[in-house]
Structure 1
């Protein structure tokens, strides 16, 4: 096929996507396409228009707002795409709705679990570690400062119990001690993230998912380099990409250290509340940083800055095979066709490949 009509320097939209079960989701400015290989080796494609306001309207041009709104939309679309891809991979394709209360409820539950595991748990553990290191006073020390005035004017110490260790602790103002604990919180957060990804990465199904993630990255990298979009060409491109969602997670961790350090270490209940309320702020900042670094990746010093992000991506990517690249390319070509960048014949779905379908069944 011909090279994309837009040269790399002329690309006005940052294409992206994610891996799904036995396939890849690609997003453009107007449409999203999900390509999944079924048990017979046929590539099944689902396409759907995207919200114009989010991807092309004023929201897409408003810093910080675009990151938050776009992230929410991407999470919802990605979650529903995963559900649909699982049905296709199992040979049980259904005409599912990518919108509505079921999709919203699934996203809400997923977010609650994520917030609890990657935000609230690290906050609680860091508070305990800070107490163990003697950086903050807890329970018996801090609760003794909770006093009440008796009728005769005498000061009476409030009783405390061990169960209040995380409720009654000495709040810390902005400073070195608060920053140390916030840094500990970030380290715990990152450790949980790495442990979680490493653990699920041992599953065969997840290994294949990570292979499709690698295929998605290679396809975008090849397109942005102006290369021919064939499996044999795409597979030669790097497996890392600066706009990767894994890179976003690492950026969130580092941004959170800076943002939370501006608050010191407030009382525990306010501490927990701040972690939840400031998620949109942190996500917006992290998105703008990733966008800026991706746009300036040609600068040597920026490549040094993003090196940790690129390294972390190896946790969630694997080298794909040609069949995986074919699926990723099919999805991406459908997006390019929807935007008038290639002809329909170039975006045709390939013939079934029984060899590529000879894989372990999902769930085995």
Structure 2
């Protein structure tokens, strides 16, 4: 069987893997058993062939990835958080009944977008604007804004990595990468083989985030340094364009392995030392179970 393009995501005590046609989530339950849920992918993005249109596909794929990622996290959380349901969860379930999960995912996505725009679009350009009193060069001002944005990202990752629960997720993130490396190098999918590989991967979402930051610096430099309202509007309106360009770059990095791709991927790869941790054998076993489910 020919090798497939596979990506993944760490979830609570598990891993989600996805090929072109299948998606699978493997979770290690409290009793030690591994439960695997797999399904065929039905995406309007693929059906309408949007995934074949360079630069346009990036923003659509990003939204679809966010939705499916939250669904995967929701599925894995069901095995561990059943007794932690709060009043808001009960209210949503009472009002929306069978649609409660979709509503919760929608609310979570909206909140995530609002927080992301605030942290990585509005805050950096407002803080960067304070330097306009002492710096006149528009390119340097955009560079300062970009450095502030990257600093916020780095600080955020450093902060959440201190949580023991997040460290477990980061270990599963490392297991995801190691098992994919094992598959891409045409090794038998065993814990022993996967353990040998690095936990860093050029197609990682961490790389994507860093490339988004870098792309935005270059793109916004062409538009000078307008007033704060125009700057904020531009940062928000240009999100699909930045995502589209960044998506093509991340695909390029995953497709080729040469000096140029290594240089471009290097900062994001180094950032993965924060977002991945060395997994244990049981975590590798879970990642392999998810991977096998989508390539069989």
Distance in 2 of aligned mates of 1:336 and 1:99: 28
1:226 to partner: Cα distance: 0.4
* Bigger Rg, which one: 1
**C-alpha RMSD over aligned residues:** 2.1
Unaligned runs of 5+ in 1: 137-176, 338-364
Give the match's secondary structure for 2:78.
helix
Contact 1:239–1:319 at 8 Å: present in 2 too? yes
Could you tell me which of 183, 187, 191 is aligned with 2:143?
Answer: 183
Give the match's secondary structure for 2:109.
helix
Give the match's secondary structure for 1:17.
strand
Contact 1:36–1:89 at 8 Å: present in 2 too? no
1:167 alignment counterpart: none
1:55 to partner: Cα distance: 4.0
1:233 to partner: Cα distance: 1.0
Contact 1:222–1:228 at 8 Å: present in 2 too? yes
2:38 alignment counterpart: 47
Contact 2:125–2:228 at 8 Å: present in 1 too? no
2:18 alignment counterpart: 27
Distance change in 2, residues 1:32/1:311 (3 Å): same
Matches within 5 A, 1:198-213: 198-213=158-173
Distance in 2 of aligned mates of 1:217 and 1:38: 21
Distance in 1 of aligned mates of 2:101 and 2:35: 20
Superposed CA deviations along residues 35-84 of structure 1, whole A, max 9, x for unmatched, are 11111011122223323442465111110122111110001111221122
Distance in 2 of aligned mates of 1:239 and 1:268: 41
- How many residue pairs get aligned? The number is 284
Which stretches of structure 1, 4 residues or longer, exceed 6 Å deviation after superposition?
Answer: 96-99
Q: Please, what TM-score do these two structures have when normalized by structure 1? A: 0.74
Distance in 2 of aligned mates of 1:200 and 1:52: 32
Give the match's secondary structure for 1:26.
strand
Distance in 2 of aligned mates of 1:221 and 1:64: 27
Distance change in 2, residues 1:23/1:310 (3 Å): same
1:260 alignment counterpart: 220
Distance in 1 of aligned mates of 2:195 and 2:47: 31
Determine whether 1:316 maps to 2:270: no
Give the match's secondary structure for 2:157.
helix
2:89 alignment counterpart: none
2:55 alignment counterpart: 64
Contact 1:39–1:91 at 8 Å: present in 2 too? no
Give the match's secondary structure for 1:89.
coil
More helix by share: 2
1:288 alignment counterpart: 248
Give the match's secondary structure for 2:79.
helix
Superposed CA deviations along residues 90-140 of structure 1, whole A, max 9, x for unmatched, are 467x9x979733322221211111111111111111111333xx125xxxx
Could you tell me which of 29, 33, 45 is aligned with 1:38?
Answer: 29
1:281 to partner: Cα distance: 0.3
Contact 1:27–1:335 at 8 Å: present in 2 too? yes
1:105 alignment counterpart: 107
Distance in 2 of aligned mates of 1:76 and 1:18: 12
Matches within 5 A, 1:82-231: 82-90=73-81, 100-131=102-133, 134-135=134-135, 177-231=137-191
Distance in 2 of aligned mates of 1:98 and 1:43: 26
Distance in 2 of aligned mates of 1:55 and 1:218: 28
